[in-house]
Amino acid sequence: MLSVNEAIDSLLNGARRLVENEEIDLISALGRALSEDIIASMDVPPADNSAMDGYAFRHGDWRGAQSELPVSQRITAGSVPQPLEPGTAARIFTGAQVPDGADTVVMQEHCEASSDAVRILSLPVLSANIRPRAQDITAGQKILSAGHRMRGQDMGLLASQGIGKIPVYRRLKVAILSTGDELREPGQELQDGQIYNSNRFTMHGQLTAWGFDVVDMGVARDDPEAIRDLFARAAASADVIVSSGGVSVGEEDHVKDVVESLGSIDLWKIAIRPGKPFAFGQVNGTPFLGLPGNPVSVFVTLLIIGRPYLFCCQGIADTAIHPVQHTACLDQRGSAREVYIRVRLAEEGLVPFSSQSSGVLLSTSWSDGLVRQPLDQDIKQGDQVEFLPWPVLN
Amino acid sequence: MLSVNEAIDSLLNGARRLVENEEIDLISALGRALSEDIIASMDVPPADNSAMDGYAFRHGDWRGAQSELPVSQRITAGSVPQPLEPGTAARIFTGAQVPDGADTVVMQEHCEASSDAVRILSLPVLSANIRPRAQDITAGQKILSAGHRMRGQDMGLLASQGIGKIPVYRRLKVAILSTGDELREPGQELQDGQIYNSNRFTMHGQLTAWGFDVVDMGVARDDPEAIRDLFARAAASADVIVSSGGVSVGEEDHVKDVVESLGSIDLWKIAIRPGKPFAFGQVNGTPFLGLPGNPVSVFVTLLIIGRPYLFCCQGIADTAIHPVQHTACLDQRGSAREVYIRVRLAEEGLVPFSSQSSGVLLSTSWSDGLVRQPLDQDIKQGDQVEFLPWPVLN
């Protein structure tokens, strides 16, 4: 059996970015992967500005709480100040540019103002209440790296640089398909011996959450010709193919032979629970990931094994998961497989779902994430364990 | 000053769901909030099925490793089995329905098969390798609750019930706007005294990530008539209005007077850093959240104060944030405000960004989330602290 890390490394060794660049409007950048480093072209803020409503003046001009400074100009946010006349103050508002010649801003609450002059009752320290030019960003600095996935704050960051269009990789096209005569679609009537195709929806939803362009190929009957046709069409329509339904060597499993006839396939046994059977290959040159068939196994292997590979194909730089620590409220002996336990985040810590069977998809909806139990390592009540909240897997 | 929790409670006390129901296809359910509890209408799996390729038989019929059972039928996944003839075995494949009369499945690896009979070399325990009916879900059981936000696994769960259309709340329409003569849009040229409007993009991206329908109202000049017009149009186009740009009582701040003339407004000081000034009111009956103006303050108050309120308006049941614990790699004295520290998740723990100024939006892009520092509580190297990874805030 391959360890989980060996499986991921094997996949990543053969992986490369499969998508070209395109340019999009910043406003629609959410979730997209940058295709270039972004270098700041300007300082942010572009000039010293006032953090308060008050008066800008030269610190050395202060002559005591009784002495007045004439108010020589009024500077609102967005207006262009004149250089400050020596021995005067400027009325200034939050966000407004500090005039040349001023080095300090005093809050209006610490002043007594008449119509054309101001008394500064309490002298602030030199350079108080000024947000200095380049406090946030210095021109020439790298602010985001190629392969970064855009979030709300990153959109704000690039906007602050005046960047209205950004270079990204086009969305990775991921074809999904299932095989099996027993599968029916929601809305259809169920006959004896049949089940509804949940894996299609789990995969569709999760891949969409990752920002991929899902190409939904539907289901092939358990028939070599039908399977061959579906795989060939999937390979022609997408950058990567993901299937559910354990690819095995049973006499009713035609996927292996079909994929072999169109390309190549390796059947792996990965030391993961839920999971274990996993296929990797290519169909007419298009990479193919064959996930297991059980509902929870599909979901967990997609998150743990599939995600780093697909992220790499998309050009995302950080393909690793970043677990946090949390307290286990469970006891479980270690095993020869890496175990992913569905847990809920409770007041006292991480509580497992009552059934950890790979058929019980309810366990994934009930829970807030996964505890990773390393090979051969026991988990005891109160242990700090690796916790992967669902959102962190997105 | 209001504590953060007092502010959130005040908002939630006056909050109610602002959106009606609609029915959508399950396949497009990602991120949507259910408007009804979902009750299982059928058992999953709907019948006992085989977990292995092998032979189904009655446990009591086994007469030893040398004795043969005739193979009376062949059951593939999706086919309808006949009741098992007494004293025989059925060839069966993974996922296929176990016939009435059989109570155990033996793996094919533990059998020796001829063309029409099988010898079971090693007897498994009674009911081995059978996934029992209703193992996952029992008909009548509540499987998801009203107000739940749909994820990939939830889509799979509902598909397993044959549910093809689901009842959800329509997307909440959130109008965003900013005010300020100093604001320019990315792509425009910057004049002296001006800055780019980053808050619009931060808000747009984050609200989109939450699944809201963002109505982008743009920017109003610092002019009472322009602000009045923009607020009135926002109120008419959306369920909630969110603005950035500290609403204060300065002589250049017209928002307070305008909103008061169209509805009502309260100015709060919240014990939060970054943040503090926060406005809450209504414009012609449409709720209005006035976030501060500094880039990081906008982002943090939107996540911590705005999120629970907006989620409630959307009909999402769980409006709380669920922090995890992690190790602090920082020392910081407690203060009279609740502090949200931008940190990166490193090998050794949570490392703070070098500048925690509210102007430094780069701190939010650089970091992996926030450490919450409670009022008046010191944080020391090695302490377990509350950590909010960015994705957990989505």
Q: What tens-digit pLDDT sequence spans chain A (394 residues)?
A: 999 999 999 999 989 999 999 999 999 999 999 999 999 999 988 899 999 999 999 999 999 999 999 999 999 988 899 999 999 999 999 889 999 999 999 999 999 999 899 999 999 999 999 999 998 889 999 999 999 999 999 999 999 999 999 999 999 999 999 988 889 999 999 888 888 999 999 999 999 999 999 999 999 888 899 999 999 999 999 999 999 986 766 666 789 999 999 999 999 999 999 988 999 999 999 999 999 988 999 999 999 999 999 999 999 999 999 998 889 999 999 999 999 999 999 989 999 998 888 778 999 999 999 999 999 999 999 999 999 999 989 9
Residues in chain B closer than 8 A to A193 (CB atoms): 47, 75, 77-81, 96-97
CB contact under 8 A, B293 and A95: yes
- Which among A77, A81, A203 has CB closest to B181? A77
CA distances from B230 to B48, B220, B252 (A): 62, 7, 17
The answer to whether position A319 is within a domain reads no
CA distances from B204 to A71, A254, B173, B244 (A): 40, 48, 12, 11
Q: Is the Cβ of A328 closer than 8 Å to some Cβ of chain B?
A: no
Chain A / chain B CB contacts < 8 angstroms: 334
The answer to whether position B319 is within a domain reads no
Closest residue by Cα to residue B240 from B285, B287, B203:
B287
Residues in chain A closer than 8 A to B40 (CB atoms): none
Report the phi/psi class of residue B86: left, alpha or beta, with left for phi > 0 and alpha for psi in -120 to 50: beta
Q: Is the Cβ of B364 closer than 8 Å to some Cβ of chain A?
A: yes
pLDDT at B180: 86
The answer to whether position A72 is within a domain reads yes
Residues in chain A closer than 8 A to B97 (CB atoms): 192-193
Q: Tell me the nearest-neighbour CA distance from A96 into chain B, angstroms.
A: 7
Chain B residue at shortest CA distance from A205: B152
Domain hosting B114: range is: 49-131
Q: Which residues 63-82 of A are in CB contact (within 8 Å) with B?
A: 76-81
Give yes or no: residues B182 and B195 share one domain: yes
Contact yes or no for B349/B302 (Cβ under 8 A): no
- For residue A274, is the peptide bond before it cis, meaning its omega torsion is within 30 degrees of 0? yes
The answer to whether position B264 is within a domain reads yes
Contact yes or no for A69/A88 (Cβ under 8 A): yes
CB contact under 8 A, A156 and B299: yes
Give yes or no: residues A354 and A268 share one domain: no
Closest residue by Cα to residue A158 from B290, B176, B205:
B205
Domain count, chain A: 4
For helices A224-237 and A255-262, the axis angle rounded to 10 degrees is: 50
DSSP assignment string, A209-227: HTT-EEEEEEEE-S-HHHH
Give yes or no: residues A178 and A285 share one domain: yes
Q: Is the Cβ of B227 closer than 8 Å to some Cβ of chain A?
A: no
pLDDT at B181: 86
pLDDT at B291: 95
CA distances from B96 to A280, A385, B89, B93, B182 (A): 25, 38, 14, 6, 68
Paired with B343 in beta bridges are B352, B369
- Torsion on CA atoms B328, B332, B333, B337, rounded to nearest 10: -90
Closest residue by Cα to residue A188 from B138, B137, B163, B27:
B163
Give yes or no: residues B35 and B71 share one domain: no
Of B262, B285, B314, which residue sits at a domain end? B314
> Who has greater pLDDT, A219 or B78?
A219
- Which among B42, B152, B180 has CB closest to A77? B180
Contact yes or no for B168/B33 (Cβ under 8 A): yes
Chain A residue at shortest CA distance from B54: A250
pLDDT at A276: 86
Give yes or no: residues B217 and B141 share one domain: no
Chain A residue at shortest CA distance from B360: A136
Paired with A89 in beta bridges are A71
Assigned token pair, B143: 């499987």
By CB atoms closer than 10 A (0-12, 13-18, 19+), residue A167 is middle
Closest residue by Cα to residue B169 from B19, B10, B319, B341:
B19
Give yes or no: residues B118 and B64 share one domain: yes
Give yes or no: residues A183 and A96 share one domain: no
Paired with A196 in beta bridges are A184
pLDDT at B94: 86
Best mutation target among A76, A196, A294, A321 (most B Cβ atoms within 10 Å) is A196
By CB atoms closer than 10 A (0-12, 13-18, 19+), residue A58 is middle
CB contact under 8 A, A144 and B345: no
Residues in chain B closer than 8 A to A150 (CB atoms): 205
Best mutation target among B48, B129, B160, B184 (most A Cβ atoms within 10 Å) is B160
CATH of residue A333: 2.40.340.10
pLDDT at A248: 66
Q: Could you give the CA distance from residue A170 to residue A31 in angstroms, rounded to a whole number?
A: 11
Q: Could you give the CA distance from residue A89 to residue A123 in angstroms, rounded to a whole number?
A: 13
A282: helix, strand or coil: strand
Residues in chain A closer than 8 A to B322 (CB atoms): 345, 368, 389
CA distances from A142 to A36, B81, B342, B364 (A): 11, 65, 19, 15
Give the pLDDT mean for B60-65. Answer: 95
Q: Could you give the CA distance from residue B367 to residue B354 in angstroms, rounded to a whole number?
A: 11
Q: Which residues 156-185 of B are in CB contact (within 8 Å) with A?
A: 156-165, 180-185
Give yes or no: residues A197 and A329 share one domain: no
Assigned token pair, A376: 């051969």
Residues in chain A closer than 8 A to B155 (CB atoms): 201-202, 204-205
Give yes or no: residues B140 and B119 share one domain: no
Residues in chain B closer than 8 A to A44 (CB atoms): 195, 361
- Distance in angstroms between the alpha carbons of the first and the last residue of chain A: 27
By CB atoms closer than 10 A (0-12, 13-18, 19+), residue A250 is middle
Closest residue by Cα to residue B59 from B150, B125, B147:
B125
* pLDDT reading at B247 higher than 80: no
Contact yes or no for B156/A201 (Cβ under 8 A): yes
**From the CB of residue B340, how many other CB atoms can be counted at a distance below 10 Å?**
25
* pLDDT reading at B115 higher than 70: yes
Q: Is the Cβ of A97 closer than 8 Å to some Cβ of chain B?
A: yes
Residues in chain B closer than 8 A to A156 (CB atoms): 198-199, 201-202, 205, 295, 298-299, 361, 364
Residues in chain B closer than 8 A to A95 (CB atoms): 180, 182, 195, 293
The answer to whether position A101 is within a domain reads yes
- Which among A27, A136, A392 has CB closest to B201? A27
Contact yes or no for A304/A271 (Cβ under 8 A): no
Q: Is the Cβ of B83 closer than 8 Å to some Cβ of chain A?
A: no
CB contact under 8 A, B293 and A94: yes
> Who has greater pLDDT, B136 or B80?
B80
* pLDDT reading at B119 higher than 90: yes
CATH of residue A102: 2.170.190.11
pLDDT at B251: 66
Contact yes or no for A149/A307 (Cβ under 8 A): no
Give the pLDDT mean for B181-202. Answer: 91
Closest residue by Cα to residue A246 from A296, A314, A188:
A296
CB contact under 8 A, A187 and B162: yes
B30: helix, strand or coil: coil
Neighbouring residues of A240: CB distance < 8 A, sequence distance ≥ 6: A18, A172, A173, A174, A175, A286, A287, A288, A289, A310, A313
Contact yes or no for B250/A77 (Cβ under 8 A): no
Chain A residue at shortest CA distance from B321: A345
State ipTM.
Answer: 0.91
What does chain B come to in residues?
394
Strand pairing class (B240-244; B173-179)? parallel
Give the pLDDT mean for B298-307. Answer: 97
pLDDT at B192: 84
- Which among B188, B364, B389 has CB closest to A392? B389
Give yes or no: residues B36 and B65 share one domain: no
CB contact under 8 A, B355 and A325: no
Residues in chain B closer than 8 A to A326 (CB atoms): 324-325
Q: Could you give the CA distance from residue B160 to residue A182 in angstroms, rounded to a whole number?
A: 13
Chain B residue at shortest CA distance from A353: B136
Q: Tell me the nearest-neighbour CA distance from A264 into chain B, angstroms.
A: 24
* pLDDT reading at B307 higher than 70: yes
Structure-token match 């500094």, residue found: B294
Contact yes or no for A327/A350 (Cβ under 8 A): yes
CB contact under 8 A, B136 and A322: no
CB contact under 8 A, B186 and A357: no
For helices A4-13 and A307-314, the axis angle rounded to 10 degrees is: 20
Contact yes or no for A362/B157 (Cβ under 8 A): yes
> Who has greater pLDDT, B44 or B263?
B263
Q: How confident is the model at residue B252 (pLDDT cuts 50, 70, 90)?
A: low
Give yes or no: residues A97 and A146 share one domain: no
CB contact under 8 A, A152 and B209: yes
The answer to whether position A374 is within a domain reads yes
pLDDT at B248: 65
Q: Tell me the nearest-neighbour CA distance from A17 into chain B, angstroms.
A: 24
The answer to whether position A190 is within a domain reads yes
Give the pLDDT mean for B237-249. Answer: 86
Give the pLDDT mean for B281-291. Answer: 97
CATH of residue A226: 3.40.980.10
The answer to whether position B60 is within a domain reads yes
CA distances from A58 to A49, A77, A83, A352 (A): 15, 20, 11, 64
Give yes or no: residues A201 and A189 share one domain: yes
Structure-token match 């203060």, residue found: B335
Q: Tell me the nearest-neighbour CA distance from B84 into chain A, angstroms.
A: 15
Q: How confident is the model at residue B138 (pLDDT cuts 50, 70, 90)?
A: very high
Give the pLDDT mean for B226-247. Answer: 93
pLDDT at A251: 66
Contact yes or no for A22/A170 (Cβ under 8 A): yes
Contact yes or no for B204/A166 (Cβ under 8 A): no
Give the pLDDT mean for B115-132. Answer: 95
Best mutation target among B25, B153, B303, B325 (most A Cβ atoms within 10 Å) is B153
Of B314, B345, B373, which residue sits at a domain end? B314
Of A121, A149, A169, which residue sits at a domain end? A169
**From the CB of residue B20, how many other CB atoms can be counted at a distance below 10 Å?**
9
Q: Is the Cβ of A382 closer than 8 Å to some Cβ of chain B?
A: no
Structure-token match 């003046």, residue found: A57
